[in-house]
Each structure stands twice: as C-alpha cells, then as structure tokens.
Amino acid sequence: MAYKINDDCLACGVCQPECLNNAIDEGETSYIIDPDKCTECVGFRSEARCAEVCPVGAPVPDPSHKESHQQLLEKWKKLHPNKKPS
C-alpha cells in the first residue's frame, strides 16, 4: 500500500530527497505523499526509505491505498519504464 504522512510531520524535509519516485511534495503545513507515485520503494529498496529516515515516524502505511507487492512493482515499472528493479 502507499504511504501517507501523518500529523506528526515536522516539515523537516528529510524524506523528500529520499523518494526516488518523486512522490513526496511540500504541503502547506507538512509534506504529503502522492499515492499514485508511492511504491513503498518497491523497485529500488526493500523498505520504505521515507519511513526509515523520518525522525518522528510520520510516514506510515495508508490503509485506504492497499496494494500487493506485485501491484507496487507494476506501478514502479510504469513510473520507470527504462529501469530494472533492484
């Protein structure tokens, strides 16, 4: 499933450069994740990097965007048609 950023976000921005899908943008008061671009880092890494680097654990799985590993990989392939998954 895609991740979302909860209200604990400090708007520090440490997560944004870690997202190789460019799914994280700065919102008005915190950062936001575009669920159409979030693959939980499937295709690049084994864990969601935004959640790993966040000092307060604000990126969390979004239960309203449940996706299987295969669905996340297919999304990644559409976002990066010229790359091979890691």
**Domain ranges within the chain, ordered by starting residue:** 3-79
Global pTM value: 0.91
| Tens of pLDDT, residues 28-76 | 999 999 999 999 999 999 999 999 999 999 999 999 999 999 999 999 9
DSSP labels, 50-63: HHHH-SS--EEE-T
Which ranges constitute the DSSP H helices of the chain?
Answer: 49-53, 69-79
Correct CATH for 3-79 of 3.30.70.20, 3.30.2080.10, 3.40.50.2300, 3.20.20.450: 3.30.70.20
Residues 6+ apart with CB under 8 A from 33: 2, 3, 4, 5, 19, 23, 24, 50, 59, 62
For 8, residues 6+ apart whose C-beta sits below 8 A from its C-beta are 56, 57, 58
